[in-house]
Amino acid sequence: MAATCDNNTVLQITKCFRTIRYAPNCPHFAALAKFCHNSLQSAVYDVANRDEGRISGKRRTLPLAFCPPFAYAPLDAFGASRSLPPETAGFTKDMALIQTPYYLIDKSKLLQNMEKIAELRQLSGAKALLALKCFATWSVFDFMRDYMDGTTSSSLNEVRLGREKFGKETHAYSVAYADHEIDEVVSHADKIIFNTVGQLTRFADQSAGITRGVRLNPGVSSSSFDLADPARPFSRLGEWDVKQVEPVMDLITGFMIHNNCENGDFDLFDRMLGDIEQKFGSLLKRAEWVSLGGGIHFTGENYPLAKFAERLKRFSGEYGVQVYLEPGEASITKSTTLEVTVLDTLYNGKNLAIVDSSIEAHMLDLLIYRENAKIAPNAGPNRYMICGKSCLAGDIFGEFDFPSELKVGDRISVQDAAGYTMVKKNWFNGVKMPAIAIRELDGSIRTVREFSYTDYEQSLS
């Protein structure tokens, strides 16, 4: 299949979890186009007309039989696969063909988290909303949508993205909304959760048409970092005092409580939920729904999912509430790597290797929380400090072991690079922004986004 699309029509077919775009010079295009007009069942496609970069089209249906997985067409019509040589037709199974740096989202790994989330929903009756603050790479939302109930947000931009790119149930929350934002926030949201009683009463009129809630702060959390501890002394994150909330109960129907942070310990979750019941039981009894926030690592290995589901179900039954969870990290954990290349090596008392990425620009949380990256495999007799290419002296991924000496051009996979990474990437030093690639369930990889000098230039003025 040729790699260019020389007229304006593209067929886009969504089959199972995969979107396949057929360009006019794809051998299947003519047959597909004919069948599209017969409006048969099973798969959905768009006939899209590209008009100076804008895509518009009508939805039709197409039989699954006409979505052969081998009939991949290039994505060049959408400008999406420029990093791959033309002979790959927009897809490759060879990671080495893609220019680094790039984030690689592996759908088969993402699927493992999604299946656990789906199981938990089914066992507990709880709903699961993706926390966009953690992960907002919308190219995989089509895939995640079948396993989750919607999204939750921390700003106007996030709530809009959730509504437009994920759909389903869309929750709005923000530490504080501005007067000029609130109408638009409400227009995108099914539910709005105010951080304080002050914000609720300020925006009572504008938000009257949708479900409303308030964030409660139980004063206990599982965070080991003061910086990320929502229950730290003098925390601004939610209301602490039952007496402040009681007078506004007629304005709201539920609560959000986020006090778990990277918590893989079910017993600790259980104990803290007990604390919440003790402190806020009188309010919870009057609620219709309660979101227990994110930070619970229930998709991790060996997490007692059935016990967790039972506890959520019991909580839901005792208070008569619909329980929500807002998994960010748990949704995408271990699904993504940051692929980098060694640009230089030197010896400075230690073996150092400089790569074409930067923790400050591409994995900022490592710097904020002073953590090491994870690199796999991390075994062998050759120890190296892996360093970023920004000017920051401490731009260091960590020290790792390799089976052989590193040399210029070697590729390294930095593990677990989805959560709080892509949403925080920045243009510090003008370092090349990693592309975003997706490995499909059949192993083929496509690049869904590349960033250019124009993106860098346009990020400032």
Binding site for ligand PLP (CB under 6 A): 131, 133-134, 258, 293-295, 326-330
Nearest distance, CB of residue 224 and ligand PLP, angstroms? 13
Q: Checking DSSP bridges between strand 254-256 and strand 289-291, what pairing results, if any?
A: parallel
Nearer to ligand PLP, 131 or 245 (CB): 131
Of 259 and 447, nearer to ligand PLP (C-beta) is 259
Question: CB 131 → ligand PLP: shortest distance, Å?
Answer: 4
CB of 51 to ligand PLP, least distance (A): 38
Nearer to ligand PLP, 74 or 295 (CB): 295
Instruction: Give the shortest CB-291-to-ligand PLP separation in angstroms.
Output: 8
Q: Which two tokens stand for residue 416?
A: 């677990």
List the beta strands (DSSP E) in 244-371: 254-256, 289-291, 322-325, 336-347, 351-355
Which residue, 20 or 276, is less far from ligand PLP as judged by CB?
276
What's the closest the beta carbon of residue 149 comes to ligand PLP, in angstroms?
14
Nearest distance in Å: CB 288, ligand PLP: 19
Nearer to ligand PLP, 216 or 330 (CB): 330
- Least Å distance, CB 197 to ligand PLP, is 17
Question: Nearer to ligand PLP by C-beta: 26 or 117?
Answer: 117
Q: Tokens 């839901």 — which residue? A: 316
Distance CA 451, CA 74 (A): 19
Q: Report in angstroms how near the CB of residue 379 gets to ligand PLP at its nearest.
A: 29
Residue 201 DSSP code = H
- Residue 172 CB, shortest distance to ligand PLP, in Å, is 11
Query: DSSP characters for 399-448?
Result: EEEESS---TT-EEEEE---TTTGGG---GGGPPPPEEEEE-TTS-EEEE
Q: What is the DSSP string of 103-164?
A: EEEEHHHHHHHHHHHHHHHHHH--EEEEETTT---GGGHHHHGGGS-EEE-SSHHHHHHIII
CB 277 within 8 A of CB 239: no
Residue (293 or 388) nearer to ligand PLP, CB:
293
Neighbours of 452 (CB within 10 A): 11
Residue 20: burial class (beta carbons within 10 Å; 0-12, 13-18, 19+): buried
How many CB atoms are closer than 10 A to CB 364?
A: 18
Q: How far is the CB of 138 from ligand PLP (least distance, A)?
A: 17
Instruction: Kindly state the tokens that stand for 330.
Output: 């748990």
How do 289-291 and 322-325 pair as beta strands? parallel
- Compute the least distance from the CB of residue 18 to ligand PLP, in Å: 26
Judged by CB, which is closer to ligand PLP: 101, or 327? 327
Three-class DSSP category at 27 = coil
Burial class, 135, CB count within 10 angstroms (exposed 0-12 / middle 13-18 / buried 19+) = buried
* Other CB atoms within 10 Å distance of the CB of residue 180: 8
Q: Quote helix, strand, coil % in the chain, to nearest 5.
A: 30, 25, 45
**Tokens representing 388?**
């970023």
Closest to ligand PLP by CB, 74 or 328: 328
Token readout for 374 is 């994870």
